[in-house]
Chain A
Amino acid sequence: MDLFLQQLINGLSLGGIYALIALGYTMVYGIIELINFAHGDVYTLGTFFSLAILTLLGVTGIVTGPMLIVVVAVTILGAMLLCGLTGVIVERLAYRRLRNAPKLAPLITAIGMSFILENIMQYWRGPSPVPFPQVIPNPSFALGAISIQTKQIMVILLAVVLMFALQAFVYNTRMGKAMRATAQDKDAAQLMGIDINTTIALTFLIGSALAGAAGFVSGVYYGSTWFFNGFAAGLKAFTAAVLGGIGNLAGAMLGGFLIGLIEALTTQFIGDQWSNVMVFSILVLVLIFRPSGLLGESLPNKV
């Protein structure tokens, strides 16, 4: 039982990272029905940007005291901003002109963007894994027989907080309303005076910024990164978005945490090599019975 709880913590931490990436997939799909395959690489770019910022700040190890808050805040916000800008640039360069093209064209372009970003990162930091400084002191808290690390609390908290912030933004602000309107019907939204180019760019900005935040926490959590990380993580996060119901924010979060849990529990009770098999088997099963995902609506229009 203790082991089960311990694995829940492992699964939730892993799931928190997937969830943050999945939010970006689901937002972009919700608004322009594009599966943005470059999103996983934007996430990896987030770890690389964080690393660059930490290097600029001269941080190579654990930071303590009030400086810790400053360093973490500057790095996360910096990585989010840079990743957000990358997302906007990618949209402007690669997707905007193809917005009215057949659906397959932007999809292929997205795969192309993914390769481009990967190769830029490979050129930047080389093809080997790069160590990432620990930054955060990492004492474990004992909860009965299980122990939780500070890093794990950070991952889970950050994922949940950002999800709620996003939810509040989308449902309680004018810009959020514009996003929802654009998602429902681009032409009608435009007739109502919504600038859909700005709205879509904003969607990419926010989605990519979340990937940037995920990039920072994963760097700290694993203590290393490499240019190809986004491939596997992106695939899992995309699966999370589909599992939860693509286009649905809470669904992406749920899907991310579920996949993390499935992986951890499969490793514990069946075997590590079966974790991917289990994740995708469950995805297939869910899609058979609920083709639009766990929280997806079966209406033709998405939020």
Chain B
Amino acid sequence: MKEIKYLILKEISLEWKTKYAFNGLLLYVISTIFVCFLSFKQIIDPPTWNALFWIIMLFASVNAIAKSFLTENRGRLLYYYTLTSAEAVIVSKTIYNVLLLLVLSLINLLFYSIFIGNFIQDLPMFITGMLLGCMGFASIMTLISAIASKAGGNSTLMAILSFPILIPLLITIIRFTKNAMDGLDWSVNYKFLVILIALNMLTVALSYLLFPYLWRE
């Protein structure tokens, strides 16, 4: 447990020192939203708003998490291998990515609302959906990033590997947040909520079990 905590702190402090990746992502999100604003001017159709929000989120997350394993050089990875257990590495990276995506999604929502308008009627439900969605994205893509890094470190490969797996998750998330935007009651969304939570638990468990096999060189 302590290993995980220290690894997370290490990741956060590394990032905080340079803020390189974070600034890059921020710029990416803001530029994308600005381009959308210039093309759409104003979106009055809630489904379109929702879909576009999640598309921007999807691409930003792929970029964000690609750096997770792909930019680590071999020497450092070998160092971790001698110090910590494989499970600790994957869990800490997943948690760090979840936090990163959360911050990213909140910023995304903020700028999206400023530029393109805000149709959300049930904000807590929307934020819950966003939270679960980010957790899902992060957990799936962290493991895929680990796989892609072993297969040559190509970020295109990571995108290709993750998109098909993310499609059904994306469908569920979009449904969930659409219902949140319409202001529907929580009971309508229960089944999606259950799916999202179950999916998150499943992917984290799978990552935990499968990563040690990847870790061995």
Q: Do A and B interact with each other, yes or no? A: no
Partner-A contacts on B (CB < 8 A): none
Interface residues of A (CB under 8 A from B): none
